[in-house]
Structure 1
């Protein structure tokens, strides 16, 4: 390095050291001495801008990105090489980020060459600035605005139109990300929406394969080129083809979306998976590429080049770009050479002072979102990248503007046209559709209840008023008769039957007596054997393959139609054994082991990982040879897989002892299976001959299972079995397609310690092969993350704590107790905060086999019978060659004999059963990934013992429903009025309507009876006293000069009769309405038949 270069680095380092560390991104260089040594290393920005050394930064980046143990050494070497080179080419705004974990450290220029180039560029820019006496490039020199940014509030909308920064990871898919970003911002502007809906880059990556030739015009250029780009002309034909992770052009993506009429889906609907194919099936891919309008979040009708076709307003491309940018963000391209990948903030200068020797230097698509000016730097552009938020300035870059082609921004400035929002851009109610009952929404039912209540209250009031008026007339007539007639010997009384009935109450049964347990089993956890902690690999899809478990082929002809999976032991002769490589070809073991190490990112040189794998390989080869010596073959295939890199080769049995045990067990099984098949064939329980809930061979005629998951090296089988069981139960109960639930939620939140009593009615008198099993056992357990747990305890937590269960998309699995999810998500997951994203809930759990033997005393038949309803969470022995299983019908080790209950150590889901004509088997879904077994599934031979443990812990979740445990209305919290929800108001309205209607009917009936009673009484008086008395009665009583008063006897007679009438009604006064009537009747005691001396009173019998 020249003294001039050293001086430049020293000055830059000193300037950088003076900059506050809080302004630095994670990974940025803070200081780097000219003469570095172990005692004087470069210093870097750690978390929160704190200064750390190189070693601390490397480990921090590895930890923050959840790099697996197997990958750490390779990633650490990559990162160290990048950091060493950056130390040489020190610049305050450069650093390392997560992309350096996987990218090759090879560079086009050495550190010295790069520094030479950039020093010369800096000198050239200074000379240009001095010649022009300005730092401006016309970006912000015209117009009223000096700063514009579509991703904050400094724009014409007054708010951000951008979604969060995405990450393309290691895939060359920048073109698809910019297409998605450009369209989602265009939709916000066109619809005047308040926020952007993040669209799926994966849809373009999967579907867009357009090959096209397009002519771009550059009116601001000349045919002799432009400064810094001699190849530039006024018109250029560009050829391109979109080719997934191998690159593409943004305008090609726009053309595909517009010409094919694609409905664009959200990132939530089709997440990015860092591959061309996407994570969904081919059927789903076809539907995604041609999604209908009602399922789309956005659409476009075309595209256009926005700068270069018209230079009427200006022939300055920076001015034209600025004017176009104020209408909407623009998809552009840039050169990502030089220090672009290491950018960590500040103002970035285009490499080589913006001089581009070839148009091939334009190799990265971004979204241009704004511009600004700085007093010292001059004008700059603001661009949104797709390297994740840890790159640059929170995912953005400030690019210093120039008078050339602005680092490439002027070459491909394109926008989508006709952008509009689709139906799925709108928020759905309850995250699962409108809440409707008998055709009416909750609001509709509230209105109906309110109208019904008002009507019944008004009708009741009118009825009461009419009844009171009629009763008033009757009371007047009765009082007149009682006084004027005077011959009534007995007061009139209404006789009502009053029935007293004992109240009916719900009786609580007395507490059931505690049942004594026959055995107490110490606490246990499933999955302990696999509890080697590994950190999650966020970038696993781009760095590793899901490796197949390899297997020993029994009769190879049975699988001739499928190529052997990677790692399968194919055959052995006297000299060597051959294994299947990545492509299924037969290779020696050392080649296969090397390929495993390469795929895991592990050094292929001798290491502990290679030693472990070679120990497993040697064991299986010996097993194969010992079996061949006995002229015997296993009924299933075996082999090695990625899990064997992390498990030592120690086994409980030697190869010879293992083969001897399994050979003898196979002979015993053959003798026993004929009688078992005859017994099961004669069953009268009426279950299906075959059943598979993960195919169409079931009562629903469709699969209710999600894709096979992988627990990796964590002992979390119990959490996966819980998630798989609940998601299938939801699909069975709701008749819907299954949604993959999050095992991470149980791993994070379920730490229940409990005891549970299990009944085994079929075990009366003991069980063959498991002498420890009794008819009733108490099992203790504690869920302890990667150290194991029990599925029924996970069910108990979810039910008793009322968890709203999240989908795997909302809370991904990361193989640790502490998730990468946000604190808010974890809090909602564990404390039952109602979330819009909740996918399911349960109300309890139950043991499904063993509590009753009414139908059969055979555990196999009882399992089959219970399995007709839904899949069952069970446990199994994962010893023997379970981990090496590749296909065929697996036999439980040691013929299914269990020396201890501790041998049951792995949770799994029982999904079906079948037969191959000679052997009946169970079908189980495992959590070792789809490369294990038969695409993640196991066929297990049935037996008459405990079915390799399946009969011991058969449990299911109960009350499984889709959606949150407590549903919110309208997606925005519970709708309440005066403290009650819509459902409560509906119930109250119905109750009020029923009660008031009932009281109205009672009141009308009562009033009618009273009228009839009075009429009968008057008729009787007419018959007893004759017409004369009534003629006298009907003549008006005239008061002449004095006051005519009734005698005391007459007044007392009237009063007594009113009292008798009042008492006769008292037994009926059971409601507030009747009490009101009773009160009015009692008022008769105070009524006087005659008024004052000057009052003329007339009674007419006809008024009755």
Structure 2
């Protein structure tokens, strides 16, 4: 027929489960594709999933995959609400749970739609001016968005986010829909039933919905394309089309054409209409589908515009009313997060992560070869736990013996990868004739995951060199304040007010340990007694309320301060047990008596559970709401404040001096940016390797003092990685005149506590305990320069080969966050 198709067809993952149906003659498909399209204004374009819209930003969430389940109606509904909430709140969209809709929207409903353009032009006769539609939502058996929206308003009400209630490709995810009541063990999955969801675990609400057309919509025109175009001005619309079984699953790009819709039964697939554009072949609609990013144009469909019913788009166009966000959409400081970050959809971050993981795997393989060669040539030596020189193999054997794990093979591979990374750092330092200010080594946490290598070894060495070259004494040099340590006798109290170093293990519970360490020190200072061991498990189990707090940064706008830091910032957070949290949320819960009437429990009465177990399921949560026996109460927190406030700049504008002045009152809980080398830290002075932003703060510690060693001043921090990490659990972090690796962003201090008179006697043992004032284990090395040059050459050649192969094989790596089938 001498016609070039406007669309590209090919095989997709959906063809694995759908046999060829061939409902439409290929000649008819080509005939409809040849019909020209030009119905919108010349050069008109709009896209709510890009910056080409009145808001100048994307309001669309991530591209999802419904897999083999007939759940397009649930995905279109979730996509519509996500965009509506984003528009209403002027915030990035939060991915909402399609599984909640799939499970909780069911039954038959009848809705009436008005079609003022009926009986005009080429509109099919079956579409009348007023038409009642009866439909049943039946999970993977299909459904309609209008039914789902009605249920979202009246039955579900409190909508969950995907992170809390993930998609399982089934209308029964194991929790059922008839549970007698919600449990409250602290595990988010316990709330995934069709009963009313708790308000603090709600990500979004809607108050209603309406068809995009009504009986008055045709006052200016009956052109169906123009009506759709105008309806899109306020935001995306959920719609339905005829998904031809022959060509729709095969769509790979270009402008898709649709056959004549001669029956309402042909409309069988729901999507999100997000905009329109044009090319040489005419105008086309832009639709967001739920087949994953490997289908169509990165998950989107370009559909030819016509003046009939646009493949069914004009039949069920719907917008939502009264969209708003809930507390569960808030940002978490130490874990969690939305499915969109920094305005970039998560699938793109997954692509970046996949590339980094691939590079890390390559470098780890090379590292294994290097380690073997160096051991054979006796060019690299490690110091064991007993300070004897051992080979890499002996070091790993000793390490897995001292820290046994049930995943022995995986742990050994991860340790080998970390050894390779650490040795690379020392090799580069040796080649540059530089002695690192810090020592690196293995830690039990290395058994869990391989290194991400997000900072190349050579870059880490260069950062350390630059830090030494530019570093100068910033702390006052008077004998009275050149050093301070609340975990030793070098403080105004002349005694230790810190408890022993704890071990959070694999649970992301740094926030709970830092908070209990802070409270323990405050109680010790107030009652002039040794510190008692407090229960981080109490916070993990009971602290989950969302909170906000304003922090003033009087030094914002300074010469060394990032421009993104405002004079006053509103922080939002809620604690999610091993999923992360913040110190200020925990302090807020404790000081406002949100649980146990504000009483702080002792660790021996409420012990910490190994993170390998679910630390939030072993206790009856009713313990959170009752009063504790007086013998189990250590004390109460009455008030707390940010350690640096608007008045901090009265006497100085130097951030280091501000923090030092605050430390005179006692220890401070702080947050910072960490990386692979942080986990490998074994001693010495650590220089911050990452640029600090509001979104990459990922760890919380206790700041206990400062000191100067060989002209390098540093902070002394108490961590929760156990005594085998750092300087017997402590860290020396180099000071700077900016944000000090993030320490200045979220510093908190307790101003008033009340001790319990019935607290049990303190039986804490400090045998083998450090105080952050001495050194650590070092790695010794001897690396031939020739090997470094050879390794760099081999690595460069390998990367070039992979890049050339990738460019030849594909234009873009597509990874679907929903693990599409």
- The TM-score, its normalising length taken from structure 2, stands at 0.45
- The TM-score, its normalising length taken from structure 1, stands at 0.34
Greater share of residues in helix:
1
